[in-house]
Amino acid sequence: MMELTQKYIELCGVKIYCEYSFVDNRPPLLLIHGVAATLYTFNSLIPLLKDHFSIINIDLPGFGRSEKSSSFIYSFQNYAEVVAACIDYFKLENVNIVGHSMGGQIALYTTNMVPEKINKLVLVSSSGYLKRANKAIILCTYLPFFGYFVKHHVHKQEVKDVLKNVFYDHSLITENHIREFGMPLEEKGFYTSLKRLLRYREGDLSRDDLKTIDKPTLLLWGKEDRVVSYTIGERLAEDLPNAKLITYEKAGHLLTEERPHEVFKDISGFIL
């Protein structure tokens, strides 16, 4: 089984960490994680995918091993610019994007930006219909102590308790999960990125915007998702012109780790 190549590349002036493997005649699959996560989101899925797809898995700016820039504007539009630049860097065509949580919204922004480069979308527990933070909170992000407030708020819960919120079956949570998802929380730059994301993040795409995205789209949702309710998936299925929703019983937000074999089967059946 081919191992993924690990590499830092510069995209849009930011140092990005990525892992990838390319095999001729295998369709490209670009993976985008969600907020406060890393490319580890797809850890259990990649061994299943990489014998059938060319894989590009990236840490978004501000997360994982990518640069925690204090000048990058952490907006969905700029994240989409980074993803589009990644597609150009690897000279990809007819790209399929898998986006988890916030990564799903970034996938939609990217498709809106460069539709000619996108083949199909898989949105896993995707964010949707969120408004921009209110003006009072945005103003607070400019206060010098606000980063400490964000850090205090994040650390109010143990990592295992946070994971219990994204797994339906708590018995599946491993020490590896606790270590990998807890590691970014120890980096000082992470809180700068989170603060700037809160400041600059636009609202999610509107219904009118969604209705213009006609790419074939697969929506995958856990029925017990406590982070983004499956009712958001139902709304997206109505507003996206060419979308299909699959829900998983007794499953939570982190489907890629909780139900990797079923997710792989559904992705493969949709794209291949």
Q: Please pick, among 33, 100, 177, 253, the residue that the annotation labels catalytic.
A: 253
Element at 103 (helix H, strand E) = helix 102-113
Of 41, 44, 71, the closest CA to residue 59 belongs to: 41
Which among 154, 129, 148, 134 has a CA at the least distance from the CA of 198?
134
**Of 21, 101, 126, 193, which residue is the catalytic one?**
101
- The pTM is what? 0.93
Residue-by-residue pLDDT tens, the chain, 272 positions: 458 999 999 999 999 999 999 998 999 999 999 998 999 999 999 999 999 999 999 999 999 999 999 899 999 999 999 999 999 999 999 999 999 999 999 999 999 999 999 999 999 999 999 998 878 777 777 767 666 566 656 666 788 888 999 999 999 999 999 999 988 777 878 888 888 888 889 999 999 999 999 999 999 999 999 999 999 999 999 999 999 999 999 999 999 999 999 999 999 999 99
List the chain domain ranges: 5-271
Q: Which amino acid is at 247?
A: T
| DSSP assignment letter at 205 | P
Please tell me the predicted confidence (pLDDT) of residue 122: 98
253 in active site: yes
pLDDT of residue 184: 79
3-state secondary structure of 8: strand
Give the burial class of 91: count Cβ atoms within 10 A of its Cβ; 0-12 exposed, 13-18 middle, 19 or more buried: exposed
Residue among 88, 87, 89, 31 nearest 60 (CA): 31
Q: CA 7, CA 22: separation in Å to the nearest integer?
A: 14
Largest interatomic CA distance in the chain: 52
**What is the assigned CATH class of domain 5-271?**
alpha beta
Looking at residue 155, its pLDDT comes to 61
Return the pLDDT at 52. Answer: 96
